Amino acid sequence: MLFHGIERNPVKVKPGVAHIPGWLDTSVQQGLVSQLRDEARIMAGTPMAMHKPVLKSGGQMSVFMLHLGHFWDHQTYRYVDRIGETKVRPVPQNLLGIAQSGLRAAAEVAEELAPWVDNFRPDMALINFYPPGATMGMHQDAYETTLAPIVSLSIGDEAVFRIGSTEHRNKPWDDIALLSGDLVVFGGPNRKAFHGVPETRPGTLDESCGLKEGRINITFRQVYPR
């Protein structure tokens, strides 16, 4: 547990980017893990099942993904609401409330997020499960039709969240050490910043979070205007 015991305070990483350590308490983390397991079980065996996406380039991601609200098709680069006869499940109301509360908290740290506080209507939650050692390359969240902020929660193993510029994947980057319960929100001038997870640290979680290994990342977004 590399960062446990070190004082960690809320910080504005750059304009529109806030990191709030330990925002989710342990009991909430446990409840979310249990709830998301139930969601994954419901969709098991369907086209919407939790899976490791195959990219348009042919490569396969190391991260498992489960979609709620809308489904991101990695082949067509489009959001869809069904595959065949299978509809994507809605985002549960308690998750929507957590996302909105997270944005309100982040706007206290990064004022560029404040204009969205009263207008944020998340309609999609992407659940990423990182098995031990999994990573994610630098990418943009650029296909939503709104510029609403991205609200991101971490549960489980420690990880490094990397965020760069809106123009390219290269340096300079800001690297943020994430622990279980941490909140990151990015929006405003850095809503379309390239970001990724270059490192996870297996064996660093506390099982009281509800996981025995790996890391869950929940990202909320507003795909469509309301």
Q: What is the CATH number of the domain that holds 213?
A: 2.60.120.590
Q: Which run of H or E residues covers position 13?
A: strand 11-14
The C-alpha atoms of residue 203 and residue 198 are separated, in whole angstroms, by 17
Q: For the chain, which residues score pLDDT lower than 70?
A: 1-5
Q: Give the distance, in angstroms, between the CA of residue 27 and the centroid of all CA atoms in the same chain.
A: 19
- 24 occurs within a structural domain: yes
**Residue 6 forms part of a structural domain:** no
Containing structural domain, residue 207? 11-221
In this predicted structure, what is the pLDDT of residue 7? Answer: 79
Let me know the angle formed at the C-alpha of 160 by 154 and 163, rounded to the nearest 5 degrees.
Answer: 95
Rounded Cα–Cα distance for residues 158 and 152 (Å)? 14
Query: Partners of 177 in the beta sheet?
Result: 160
Is residue 151 domain-resident? Answer: yes
Q: Give me the number of domains the chain comprises.
A: 1
Q: Does residue 5 lie within any of the structural domains?
A: no
Say what the pLDDT of residue 4 is: 59
CB 55 within 8 A of CB 112: no
pTM for this one?
Answer: 0.96
Q: Is residue 1 part of a domain?
A: no
